[in-house]
């Protein structure tokens, strides 16, 4: 590269870029004194990607950053512009769903179940929106900081101090007790499906493979399972045609407790066949150092025969569960999300709010920008306010043109224009 000097780009120090520049090696052209374009190349790890946040309203929800991504789609943070509550929105693309094995069926089931469940330890589905034109579904849920799995991965020995594990386990048992009282078997209890709210309240989530026992069924017999292999009991690993659903959840909660307190799993395997073979044999060790009380509880929950497995009411009465555990050092807290230095996982909607209220009016004519305001939302949640539900196929928000006019009049116009009244 004769005549070209490798320099750091002082204009953008410390390597902050606006939207439109990819996060791979950055190349920028500068005109030096000699007017020869110079190339700056810096490592992608050094780049702080500062996207210009364009406000996007889905119904009355102002979208924030992505919180995570599952097999069915992205989950974004959002602000309910009417109640000012922090929300998490799972965005499901119907086209993508059709390509996933049991995808449509699982999402439909999860929505049906979540609509009828209301409990402190079950994730709350507060709203449900559909955009038929875009073939997208929006599941509006209460906001959580993250999963227990993420916390475990951040912990030094991949486990929690006993008092912390105990705190979460008690809440899991309460949530499970409610689910079972409603005749629902979760079938996929694991740290990855346990979220924590900002008040550190545990929320059982992901009911995609759950099963509602028929109200007239004699017992909790189930015939199918799609849960995560490492958390499945021997009756499933051995391919039994029918099994007790509630006892599956007891086993999976036992594996979860084992994992939270020891940092390892009772059964492992290089592949699913090996793993199921090991679970099927039912031989496992509890690591040294686990106190007898906890050992007794784990042994009860990981009983090979489902009929011998400890029941929920006895778990609640178990000494390890009832006891108060002393607070010790080493509490595991969430780490900042990559790219966000905020330890408290602050509200990511604020830059979008700024854009909504203060953005350059010239941008209003930008086609792309207009695309960010969705109308034609259908509210399909049973508890939807009539004014919103009645807005089907017309506009949940006012028409886009009206919105634009109103926005020109007042900076806060768009927010108020989204109220159903």
Q: Residue 247 belongs to what H/E stretch?
A: helix 245-262
The footprint of ligand ATP on this chain (CB under 6 A) covers a number of residues equal to 18
Site for ligand ATP in 100-139 (CB under 6 A): 123
- Bridge-partner residues for 80, per DSSP? 61
Task: Give the span between the Cα atoms of 276 and 382, in whole angstroms.
Answer: 41
Site for ligand ATP in 332-391 (CB under 6 A): none
Site for ligand ATP in 82-101 (CB under 6 A): 88, 90
Whether residue 27 contacts residue 41, with contact meaning beta carbons closer than 8 Å, is answered with yes
Minimal CB distance residue for ligand ATP: 70
- The catalytic position among 188, 220, 249, 355 is 188
Contacts (Cβ under 8 Å, ≥6 apart) of 336 = 342, 343, 345
Question: Of 64-72, 215-223, 237-245, 399-407, which part binds ligand ATP (CB under 6 A)?
Answer: 64-72
67 binds ligand ATP per the rule CB under 6 A: yes
78 binds ligand ATP per the rule CB under 6 A: no
Kindly tell me which residue out of 17, 138, 143, 243 binds ligand ATP, with binding defined by CB under 6 A: 143
Closest approach of ligand ATP to the CB of residue 124, in Å? 9
141 binds ligand ATP per the rule CB under 6 A: yes
Task: Give the span between the Cα atoms of 402 and 393, in whole angstroms.
Answer: 17
Does residue 188 carry a catalytic annotation? yes
Kindly tell me which residue out of 130, 206, 398, 403 binds ligand ATP, with binding defined by CB under 6 A: 206
Query: In the complex with ligand ATP, which residue's Cβ is closer, 127 or 206?
Result: 206
Whether residue 78 contacts residue 349, with contact meaning beta carbons closer than 8 Å, is answered with yes
37 binds ligand ATP per the rule CB under 6 A: no
Contacts (Cβ under 8 Å, ≥6 apart) of 419 = 60, 82
Kindly tell me which residue out of 22, 23, 44, 71 binds ligand ATP, with binding defined by CB under 6 A: 71
Copy the structure tokens of residue 51. 């996207």
Query: Could you tell me which residues are annotated as the binding site?
Result: 90
Q: What are the b/e assignments for 282-316, b being 16+ CB within 10 Å?
A: bebebeeebeeebebbbebbbbbebeebbebeebe
Contacts (Cβ under 8 Å, ≥6 apart) of 308 = none
Q: Hey, which residues are catalytic here?
A: 188
Site of interaction with ligand ATP (CB under 6 A): 67-72, 75, 88, 90, 123, 141, 143-144, 146-147, 195, 205-206
């Amino acid at each position: 590269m004769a005549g070209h000097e490798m320099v750091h780009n002082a204009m953008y120090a410390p390597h902050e870029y606006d939207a439109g520049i990819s996060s791979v090696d950055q190349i920028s052209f500068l005109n030096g004194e000699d007017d020869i374009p110079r190339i700056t190349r810096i490592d992608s790890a050094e780049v702080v990607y500062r996207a210009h946040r364009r406000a996007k309203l889905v119904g009355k929800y102002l979208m924030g950053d992505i919180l995570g991504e599952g097999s069915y789609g992205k989950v974004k943070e959002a602000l309910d512009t009417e109640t000012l509550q922090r929300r998490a929105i799972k965005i499901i693309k119907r086209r993508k769903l059709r390509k996933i094995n049991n995808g449509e069926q699982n999402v439909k089931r999860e929505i049906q179940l979540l609509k009828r469940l209301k409990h402190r330890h079950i994730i709350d589905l507060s709203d449900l929106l559909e955009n038929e034109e875009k073939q997208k579904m929006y599941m509006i849920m209460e906001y959580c900081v993250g999963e227990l799995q993420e916390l475990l991965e951040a912990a030094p020995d991949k486990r929690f101090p006993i008092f912390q594990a105990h705190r979460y386990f008690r809440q899991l048992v309460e949530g499970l007790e409610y689910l079972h009282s409603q005749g629902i078997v979760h079938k996929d209890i694991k740290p990855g499906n346990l979220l924590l709210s900002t008040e550190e309240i545990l929320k059982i989530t992901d009911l995609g493979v759950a099963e509602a026992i028929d109200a007239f069924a004699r017992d909790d017999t189930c015939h199918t399972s799609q849960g995560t292999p490492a958390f499945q009991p021997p009756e499933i690993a051995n391919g039994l045609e029918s099994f007790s659903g509630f006892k599956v959840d007891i086993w999976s909660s036992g594996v979860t407790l084992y994992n939270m307190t020891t940092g390892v799993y009772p059964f492992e395997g290089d592949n699913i066949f090996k793993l199921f073979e090991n679970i099927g044999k039912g031989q496992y060790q509890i690591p040294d150092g686990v106190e007898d009380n906890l050992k007794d509880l784990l042994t009860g929950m990981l009983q090979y025969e489902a009929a011998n497995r400890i029941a929920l009411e006895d778990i609640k009465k178990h000494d390890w569960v009832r006891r108060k555990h002393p607070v010790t050092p080493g509490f595991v807290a969430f780490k900042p999300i990559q790219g966000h230095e905020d330890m408290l996982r602050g509200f990511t909607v604020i830059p979008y709010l700024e854009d909504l209220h203060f953005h350059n009016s010239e941008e209003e004519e930008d086609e792309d920008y207009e695309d960010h305001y969705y109308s034609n939302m259908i509210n399909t949640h049973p508890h939807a306010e009539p004014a919103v539900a009645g807005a089907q196929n017309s506009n949940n928000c006012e028409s886009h043109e009206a919105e634009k006019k109103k926005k020109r009049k007042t900076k806060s116009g768009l927010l108020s224009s989204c109220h159903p009244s």
